[in-house]
Amino acid sequence: MENHHHHPAAETDSAALGEVLDLDAEVLHSFLSEVITWVHELAGDPRRILDLGSGTGTGALALVQRFEGADVVALDLSAQLLDRLRDKARDLGVADRIHTVPADLDAAWPAIDTVDLVWASSSLHHMADPDRVLTEVFGTLRPGGLLAVTEMESFPRFLPDDVGLGRPGLEERCHAALAEIRAGHVPHLGSDWGSRLTKAGFTIEAERTFAIELTPPLPASAGRYAQASLRRARTGLDDRLSADDLATLDTLIDGDGPDGVLRRDDLSVRTTRAVWMARRP
């Protein structure tokens, strides 16, 4: 997400982002649980954990449930997303082990005690100066502590190439337009995180790419994930796609007929995530 916190549309935007993040967690739960298991193997039994750019708490809540002796600090720019995280923590009965910290990491690093494990999922690329943030992370980890970084190599795709509405290639045109927008606003997306981690002093223990492809039949949450993602993308595409493409996109998002993503049976979920496990020596 771009830095929207001083923008009047920030609340709407963070509600839409929160929905996408929650659905991402629900639909890609087996990927998440695989990464958490891997963290468990490398991090042992951490007592203090920091989730950097926690959003609605996908990582923080999975970690607090896996590591029953741990406290988790969830840090994010957005107070609304942290509210959502706290509600979920209460429902899960883990609120006493989750501490939310609203902070803008582009401004200053907040006072945080030393931790054993840092989790940063799809958040580092949002920082104005990720190298500075990585240096702060290094200083906050105890020697021997682990940093787990996840980044999106490719944003989720849902549709078949031909959605049957006379606009083949529509989803790829959306992604090409979104990539142009992001190139201006999110310059660190897709940067070489391995060398940035090494430069900050970390030792890279492992790096893995997860090519995720979920195919039909999919649970209903996949349709909602497609709808929420396309709807959020749609807001930026007005001047960047043809009128025919925009009309088709609206049918896919809002249509209550068989063409709408909530009712299609030909959706899949394709996305690539890269994970680095980095240790403070």
If the CB atoms of residues 55 and 223 are measured against ligand SAM, the closer one turns out to be 55
If the CB atoms of residues 141 and 246 are measured against ligand SAM, the closer one turns out to be 141
Q: How would DSSP label each residue in 89-128?
A: HHHHT-GGGEEEEE--TTT-------EEEEEEES-GGGSS
Cβ(113)–Cβ(48) under 8 Å? yes
Give which of 65, 51, 66 is closest to 93, Cα–Cα.
65
| Range list of H helices, the chain | 10-27, 29-43, 58-66, 79-92, 130-140, 170-185, 193-199, 220-234, 243-254
Using DSSP's 3-state secondary structure scheme, residue 56 falls into coil
Residue span binding ligand SAM (CB under 6 A) among the ranges 101-109, 135-143, 178-186, 242-250: 101-109
String of contacts with ligand SAM for each residue 59-98, x by CB under 6 A: x----------------xxx--x-----------------
- State yes or no: residue 140 binds ligand SAM (CB under 6 A): no
With CB under 6 A as the rule, give the number of residues binding ligand SAM: 19
Cβ(32)–Cβ(58) under 8 Å? yes
At closest approach, how far in Å is the CB of 165 from ligand SAM?
A: 29
CA distances from 237 to 180, 184, 188, 203, 243 (A): 11, 14, 21, 40, 11
* One of 80, 88, 97, 121 touching ligand SAM (CB under 6 A): 121
Residue span binding ligand SAM (CB under 6 A) among the ranges 51-59, 61-69, 240-248, 262-270: 51-59
* One of 126, 231, 264, 280 touching ligand SAM (CB under 6 A): 126
The pair of three-digit structure tokens given for residue 157, joined into one six-digit string: 């795709």
The DSSP bridge partners found for residue 207 are 276
- State yes or no: residue 200 binds ligand SAM (CB under 6 A): no
- State yes or no: residue 122 binds ligand SAM (CB under 6 A): yes
At closest approach, how far in Å is the CB of 242 from ligand SAM?
A: 29
The DSSP bridge partners found for residue 214 are 269
* One of 54, 100, 227, 229 touching ligand SAM (CB under 6 A): 54
- Residues near ligand SAM (CB under 6 A) are 1, 21, 53-55, 58-59, 76-78, 81, 104-106, 121-123, 126-127
